[in-house]
């Protein structure tokens, strides 16, 4: 990487602050943790719903033909 392409410390700090959206590192960590928890809860709900559908389908397939 050429020397001219390396940003100075002030530029790096500005880029980091912009990427963090004005949040402190602690606030950003808490926000990301909460978002991850919500995503886990959504996935667990989807798994439960898919399991319920699969059980209904299995029950329908196992019914003797009338």
Question: Does pTM surpass 0.75?
Answer: no
- Divide the 66 residues of the chain into consecutive groups of 10 and give the mean pLDDT of each group: 73 86 89 90 94 95 77
Mention every residue, 6+ apart, whose C-beta is less than 8 A from residue 31: 23
- Listed by start position, the domains of the chain span 23-66
DSSP state for residue 66 in the 8-state scheme: -
pLDDT at 15: 86
* Ordered DSSP codes for 20-66: TTT--HHHHHHHHHHHHHHHHHHHHHHHHHHHHHHHHHHHHHHSPP-
Buried b (16+ CB within 10 A) or exposed e, 11-42: eeeeeeeeeeeeeeeeeeeeeeeeeeeeeeee
């Amino acid at each position: 990487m050429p020397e001219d392409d390396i940003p100075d410390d002030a530029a790096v700090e500005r880029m980091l602050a912009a990427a963090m959206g004005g949040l402190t590192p602690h606030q950003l960590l808490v926000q990301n943790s909460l978002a991850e928890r919500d995503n886990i809860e959504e996935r667990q709900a989807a798994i439960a719903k898919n399991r319920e559908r699969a059980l209904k389908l299995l029950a329908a397939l196992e019914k003797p033909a009338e």
